[in-house]
Structure 1
Amino acid sequence: MAHILIVEDEIPINELIKRNLNLVGHRCVSAFDGKEALVCVRQHSFDLILLDVMLPELDGYEVFKRIKDIPTIFLTAKNSLSDRVKGLTMGADDYLSKPFEMLELLARADAVLRRTKKETASFELDKIIINFDSRQIFADGKVIDCTPKEYELLETFVKNRNIALSREKLLELAWGFDYEGDTRTVDVHVQKLRKKLGWEDRIVTVYKLGYRLEV
């Protein structure tokens, strides 16, 4: 998993981001102003920086100018086109406007880490190996046959492991924003995944909400 620096001066937001990144397995360091961020960069090696633009001491753009070769996602309440263009033309890997959903942040971070080869291309649990590049699932070296939607659902669980996901959110992430089916289709696919993978105790039911992959 990745080592991530979170540079955000609002303590509740910083802690919330850190908690969710920790849940999916990342190691995080928090900084609360621009100068502190630069100190952290000198003292540690990071795979990714989540960098707020509006910071005390030095703003995010100035911090970014002094950081070399570390993938960066700007986080900011500024959502104008000019602000987004400025961040991206400076060389940032992505730009996320506040307020944002935590699952979107996790997905953006995962995408950047994949592109920069800082995130593994596979996931292993209980002798089950998931290869993200080939979209194949193996158990004891043998391929487990899954439908495209079963795979999408499984990858959604893995990327958001230890996080409770509602049926509606699973439909959105695995089926797409325009899916208009019944949420019971999630239950059917979950049961199939549990049986195929032997993960009856891993994909747990969250009462009155949905499901969570426990790792």
Structure 2
Amino acid sequence: MPDHLLLIEDDLPLAALTAQFLRAEGFRVSIVHRGDEATAAIEQLQPALVILDVMLPGLDGFSVCRQIRAAYRGLILMLTALDENHEQLTGFDAGADDFVVKPVDPLVLLARIRAMLRRHPRQARRLDFGRFSLDLHCQQATLDGARLHFSTAEFELLAIFARHAGLPLGREVLLQQLRGLDYDGSNRSVDMRVSRLRKKLGALDCPVTIQTVMAQGYLFSETGAAPHAH
């Protein structure tokens, strides 16, 4: 069955054109035009991915995202007209999985949707990177089937990287995602955490790496084939 997408967009002509394009690419698409109707629609439909505009009548996209996260375990791709870090950080804090800046090229939107669904199949609980696996539900890591020992803080950081494998993550985004754990809120704290995790992964001979990407942050990737999820 094709993946079901829910498009929440108040611009009626744009929503119709976007839905038509995505349906032609093989997706099932439902549309909601108001933010105050979005939560009920997401709960009822449980789509594989929600395309959520930030500026909506009735309720803004950030508020929708916060309201629905406890009842929805799928993906949320937010659309914003502002290419600003603070808005993206607000979205990540609310529970968004990724952002696209408007106006959106349909081919770029399609590529982002497919990449998100590929990295995070519906209700994925385990991410595999060759001989190395992460069970996100049990918070366990294994190498060749043998359990590895990571602290809670180490596993949380590792899980953040694994969920976003192949995408560079800036320090600010990592700080936002790590909120609630034991850190002092500084870039130096993030750098030290990443450095320790990178050394531990290397010492354990795990087939993954955390690279430093100039002016972008850190990139987590498998040293061999692309990861897949179950």
Check whether TM > 0.5: yes
Alignment match of 2:147 (pick from 143, 148, 155): 143
Counterpart Cα distance in 2 of 1:132 and 1:203: 19
Alignment-derived partner of residue 13 in structure 1: none
**Residues 1:75 and 2:52 are matched in the alignment:** yes
Q: Structure 2 counterpart of 1:205, which letter?
A: T
Counterpart of 1:212 (choices 204, 219, 225) is 219
Structural mapping, 1:180-199, within 5 Å: 180-198=184-202
Q: Is the 8 A contact 2:134 2:140 kept in 1?
A: yes
Instruction: Determine the C-alpha separation between the residues in 1 that align with 2:156 and 2:139.
Output: 9
The equivalent position to 2:134 in structure 1, one of 130, 147, 168, is 130
Cα distance, 1:189–1:179 mapped onto 2, change above 3 Å: closer
* Cα distance in 2 between the residues matched to 1:50 and 1:189: 42
Alignment partner of 1:159 is 2:163 = yes
> Larger deviation: 141-150 or 76-85?
76-85
Amino acid at match of 2:50: I
1:201 shift after superposition: 6.3
CA–CA distance in structure 1, aligned partners of residues 183 and 150 of structure 2: 20
Percent same amino acid among aligned pairs? 23
- Structure 2 gaps of 5+ residues are 82-86, 100-112
The 1:81–1:120 alpha-carbon spacing in structure 2 relative to 1, beyond 3 Å, is closer
CA RMSD of aligned residues (A): 4.9
Is this contact kept in 2: 1:8–1:51, CA < 8 A? yes
Gaps of 5+ in 1: 11-30, 55-60
Question: What TM-score results when the alignment is normalised by the length of structure 1?
Answer: 0.57
Q: Alpha-carbon deviation of 1:80?
A: 3.4
Residues 157 and 52 of structure 1, relative CA distance in 2, 3 Å threshold: farther
Q: Which residue does the alignment assign to 1:174?
A: 178
Is 2:125 the partner of 1:106?
A: no
Three-state SS of the structure 2 residue aligned to 1:175 is coil
Does 2:33 match 1:53?
yes
Q: CA deviation at 1:136?
A: 0.6
Q: Distance in 1 between matches of 2:169 and 2:45?
A: 34
